[in-house]
Amino acid sequence: MLEPDQQPPDVAADSPISRPRPGFTAPKGTPTPKRSAAQANRRQPYQAPSDRKAASKQSRDRNRGDRIRRTDAYQRGEQWAMPQKDQGPVRALARDIVDARRGIGEYYMFMVVVLIVLLILPGSSTKLIADVVVVALLALIIAEGWFVGNKVKKLAAQRYPGENTRGIVMYATMRGISMRRMRMPKPRVDRGDKV
């Protein structure tokens, strides 16, 4: 008997006889396994533990593992793990633009600590200074957010025409006032990089 890839010497290679008929299956090379062996090799269905405490512990462990995997993927910036507010190329561009610059908003938390100290100190002059600092700080953060947000909108219109840019100014502002190491997803670019 001939192997499937061998031809009889008298049949030409391009003749219709040499091509296998439709529905022809080449031999496997191994015998078909017995039913008991095939069933043993199949994946077994999930068997719930009979003990309720063991089942809840197993469920908690599985959920914890899923959460850890999702959080790690979110920190790396993988799209499937991101919430809806962070998805899309325009949001990624906004994150890169904010992360590539050093802004005033990053130091917002440090300034809040200074303001709290000023408010605790006795005297009306320190409270007046604190009020002025609060108003100036808010004005600076709003102005910086507006500037960065409009920059993102302009670049997004050039690079991703037709993409939705609604809410991008607020998104860039909120990312800008968080400290760099606390930002989620983690920054992909270094400070000073061209975006």
Asked if the model's pLDDT at residue 5 lies above 60, the reply is: no
pLDDT tens by residue, 145-164: 999 999 999 999 999 998 98
Residue 118: how many other CB atoms lie within 10 Å: 18
Q: Report, as an integer, the average pLDDT of 13-39.
A: 71
Amino acid letter for position 122: P
Position 4 scores a pLDDT of: 52
The DSSP secondary-structure symbol of 7 reads: -
Residues composing the chain: 195
Query: Once rounded to an integer, what is the mean pLDDT over residues 53-68?
Result: 91
What does pLDDT average to over the chain?
A: 83
Q: What is the CA radius of gyration of the chain?
A: 32
Phi, psi angles (nearest 5°) of residue 187: -60, 135
- Predicted pLDDT of residue 18: 56
